[in-house]
């Protein structure tokens, strides 16, 4: 951990070497690679990614493989507002993960802001430090930016170089950061290095097979330069039920290099296979109903009336949710249900109204506020599971940062933190301490009367405006 003074932008380190330094030439190069990838007409992933693995060599070598992943990402360009990029250290040896002190990157295609609030949060973790020497001259993050700039709308980045970290350290960072909806993970990594064609292909196939099976132990040290961030992602994928899909594989010998000294490249998507939780269409319905309930509240002073039978399963079945509003990227209201007691779609409408007009921490939303609401988030809760730790240390050991929400109760005092709160409080003790205070309990309080439940959420968000009648301000809901 270290103090951070964020005033400067990080200039390009490999422009003119790994990719064109001229803005127009670079733009044409990236568009050309993406166009060629689209023309390949490979089978597209059916759902948006949780994470992407993409190579980071010079564009003439690895650009075609990277473009295969990014041209599919463009289909979901409005769903991601920030990108957590993790790549291996090539130039400086150090322990842990390194963040930069800069406030933005300045690649040829335009400035990319760094999420400095997220970096400040991560800097409270033991494994994350600010080290500009790790980023100076490093290419693994920089080469992803032009593809992201052509595949996403406005976004910020959380750039981390992975040194001598454990997969668990990487996994904790991924879990904490992805608790915030609208966050994409990009792992920057090549595969085998400087082997003959036959040897490179054999080792690469072993590595890819291990990744697709979510087997971190199957990745050899020589299998991928980004093996540590990949192993951390696999650890998250195994607990979150994600599926890995190979999008493209080739080597430098297939593009612009020599067959006797190859580097392997692959693009891989990690995604929710859709076997649990709400589908994309159902999420859209939920966000629409939440937004309409707030609009209805402004016009009529009550939630949007819902006939749950018109929605079908699972929206008409009993469910519990929290609805969170943000204004200028700051919390503006958050109300929810911990236990399923009414149809989920009704719970959504009621809690959206309550978040806008009944959160006691804020004034009720008025018409002038409406256009400034820039995010509507809905978190669908699993059924709470009781846990019985005997000590605070046992409770901390049982919690999974970024995955578990926690309910604490003693007598008539009760409070909860959603999994998203890990992003602001990644330290377990800080997480518990703030939750205790929210419940009205003394700090570091422990007694036999304390009761705990954990739960998980499926969280998604809407950040863009929908049309409003003439004379009304535009709204993100």
Q: Give me the CATH number covering residue 320.
A: 3.30.700.20
Q: What's the CATH number where 119 sits? A: 3.40.830.10
CB-based contact 417:452 (threshold 8 Å) = no
Do both 191 and 259 map to the same domain? yes
39 lies in a domain? Answer: yes
Do both 265 and 348 map to the same domain? no
CA distances from 124 to 162, 166, 418 (A): 16, 17, 19
pLDDT score recorded for residue 43: 67
Nearest to 89 by CA among 147, 136, 121, 145: 136
472 lies in a domain? Answer: no
476 lies in a domain? Answer: no
Question: Structural domain tally of the chain?
Answer: 2
**Mean pLDDT of the 204-222 span:** 95
Distance CA 252, CA 242 (A): 29
Last residue of a domain, one of 236, 271, 306: 271
Express each pLDDT in 52-88 by its tens digit: 999 999 999 999 999 999 999 998 998 899 999 999 9
CA geometry: angle 359, 361, 363, nearest 5 deg: 75
Last residue of a domain, one of 219, 251, 271: 271
469 lies in a domain? Answer: no
**Mean pLDDT of the 228-242 span:** 92
Express each pLDDT in 127-184 by its tens digit: 999 999 999 999 999 999 999 999 999 999 999 999 999 999 999 999 999 988 899 9
Do both 13 and 110 map to the same domain? yes
Do both 68 and 154 map to the same domain? yes
What pTM does this model have? 0.81
474 lies in a domain? Answer: no
Distance CA 35, CA 33 (A): 5
Nearest to 211 by CA among 246, 175, 163: 246
339 lies in a domain? Answer: yes
User: In sequence order, which residues have a C-beta less than 8 Å from that of residue 278 and are 6 or more positions away?
Assistant: 286, 314, 315, 380, 458, 460
Distance CA 132, CA 228 (A): 20
71 lies in a domain? Answer: yes
The proportion of the chain whose per-residue pLDDT surpasses 90, expressed as a percent, equals 79
Express each pLDDT in 392-427 by its tens digit: 999 999 998 988 999 999 999 999 999 999 988 999
Total Cβ atoms within 10 A of residue 469: 7
User: In sequence order, which residues have a C-beta less than 8 Å from that of residue 368 and are 6 or more positions away?
Assistant: 473
Range of the domain at 337: 280-462
Do both 15 and 44 map to the same domain? yes
Give the pLDDT band (50/70/90) at residue 374: confident
Give the pLDDT band (50/70/90) at residue 45: confident
Nearest to 294 by CA among 351, 353, 382, 222: 353
Last residue of a domain, one of 271, 306, 335: 271
């Amino acid at each position: 951990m270290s103090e951070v003074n964020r005033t400067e932008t990080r200039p390009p380190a490999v422009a003119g070497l790994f990719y064109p330094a001229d803005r127009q030439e670079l733009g044409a190069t990236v568009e050309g690679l993406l166009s060629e990838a689209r023309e390949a007409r490979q089978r597209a992933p059916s759902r948006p990614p949780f994470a992407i693995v993409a190579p980071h060599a010079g564009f003439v070598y690895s650009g075609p493989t990277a473009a295969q992943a990014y041209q599919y990402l463009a289909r979901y360009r409005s769903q991601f507002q920030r990108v957590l990029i993790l790549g291996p250290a090539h130039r400086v040896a150090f322990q842990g993960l390194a963040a930069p002190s800069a406030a933005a990157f300045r690649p040829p295609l335009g400035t990319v802001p760094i999420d400095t609030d997220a970096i400040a949060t991560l800097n409270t973790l033991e494994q994350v430090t600010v080290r500009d020497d790790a980023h100076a001259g490093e290419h693994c993050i920089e080469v992803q930016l032009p593809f992201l700039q052509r595949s996403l709308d406005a976004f910020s980045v959380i750039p981390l170089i992975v040194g001598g970290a454990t997969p668990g350290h990487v996994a904790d960072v991924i879990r904490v950061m992805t608790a915030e909806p609208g966050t994409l993970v990009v792992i920057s990594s090549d595969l085998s290095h400087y082997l003959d064609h036959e040897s490179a292909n054999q080792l690469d196939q072993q590595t890819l097979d291990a990744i697709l099976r979510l087997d971190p132990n199957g990745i050899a040290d020589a299998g991928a330069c980004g093996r540590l961030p990949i192993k951390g992602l696999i650890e998250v994928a195994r607990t979150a039920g994600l599926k890995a899909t190979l999008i493209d594989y080739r080597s430098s010998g297939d593009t612009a290099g020599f067959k006797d000294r190859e580097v392997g490249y692959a693009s891989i998507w990690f995604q929710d296979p859709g076997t649990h939780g709400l589908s994309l269409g159902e999420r859209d319905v939920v966000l629409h109903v939440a937004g309409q309930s707030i609009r209805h509240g402004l016009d009529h002073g009550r939630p949007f009336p819902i006939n749950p039978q018109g929605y079908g399963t699972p929206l008409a079945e009993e469910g519990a949710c929290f609805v969170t509003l943000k204004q200028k990227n700051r919390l503006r209201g958050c109300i929810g249900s911990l236990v399923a007691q009414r149809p989920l779609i009704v719970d959504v409408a009621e809690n959206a109204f309550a978040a806008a007009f009944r959160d006691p921490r804020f004034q009720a939303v008025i018409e002038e506020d409406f256009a400034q609401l820039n995010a509507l988030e809905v978190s669908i809760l699993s059924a709470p599971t009781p846990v019985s730790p005997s000590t605070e240390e046992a409770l901390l050991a049982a919690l999974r940062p970024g995955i578990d929400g926690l309910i604490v109760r003693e007598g008539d005092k009760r409070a909860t933190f959603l999994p998203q709160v890990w992003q602001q409080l990644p330290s377990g003790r800080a997480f518990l301490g703030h939750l205790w205070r929210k419940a009205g309990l003394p700090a570091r309080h422990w007694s036999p009367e304390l009761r705990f439940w954990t739960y998980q959420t499926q969280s998604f968000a809407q950040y863009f405006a929908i049309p409003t009648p003439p004379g009304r301000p535009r709204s993100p809901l």
